[in-house]
Amino acid sequence: MVKSIIFMLACCTTTVAHATDWELFKQQSDPALYVKSYSGVLLDGHKSHGEPFDLWLVNSGYQYPVVDDVSLFMEAGPVVISRSRQSGFNMSSGLRYRISPEVNIGSQVTYFDLNRASARLEINSSLLLAPSLSLIANYGVSAMTAEHALTLGVGFHF
């Protein structure tokens, strides 16, 4: 009887050890590297007629946690404006603050090259609706000119 109890305890201990070892080998994807796509309506303040147009971005980026809920990020990728059939690229760098698991706010410097180069200081926010889907709002002001732009849209995270 004592031998059977010792055998059962040894089996349980081995099973628990194997379960614990399995947790060590589970690898999660690196949250520091990401790809995101963004589709939105750009309401550009310098357009004379104020007509909104579609804006598409697909950016690859890297974010580095600075403190608990603040991350420094850099991202870049192509930009396409569908109505005017313009294309170019963009680069951004800034800080993101995670208010809650669903809400982020931040500030960034964005450089767009669409027929002409422009740089803007932007504040932004995002609301996570699903694990890969969020609502995004950006407001940017150019330091060189008095141009400003509001972008509202949907973001897809991969």
pLDDT in tens, 66-101: 999 999 999 999 988 877 778 899 999 999 999 999
Q: For residues 122 and 139, give the distance between their C-alpha atoms in angstroms, rounded to a whole number.
A: 5
In a domain, 97, yes or no: yes
Taking only the tens place, the pLDDT of each residue in 118-138 is 899 999 999 999 988 999 999
pTM for the model: 0.69
In a domain, 4, yes or no: no
- Domain of residue 66: give its range: 33-157
In a domain, 153, yes or no: yes
- Supply the CATH number for residue 103's domain: 2.40.160.20
Indicate the length of the chain as a whole number. Answer: 158
CA-to-CA dists, residue 78 to 10, 26, 59, 64, 75, angstroms: 59, 34, 7, 22, 11
Please work out, in degrees rounded to the nearest 5, the angle formed at the alpha carbon of residue 18 by the alpha carbons of 14 and 19: 120
The conformational region for residue 115 under phi > 0 = left, psi -120 to 50 = alpha, else beta, is: left
In a domain, 149, yes or no: yes
In a domain, 10, yes or no: no
In a domain, 137, yes or no: yes
Three-state SS for 133? strand
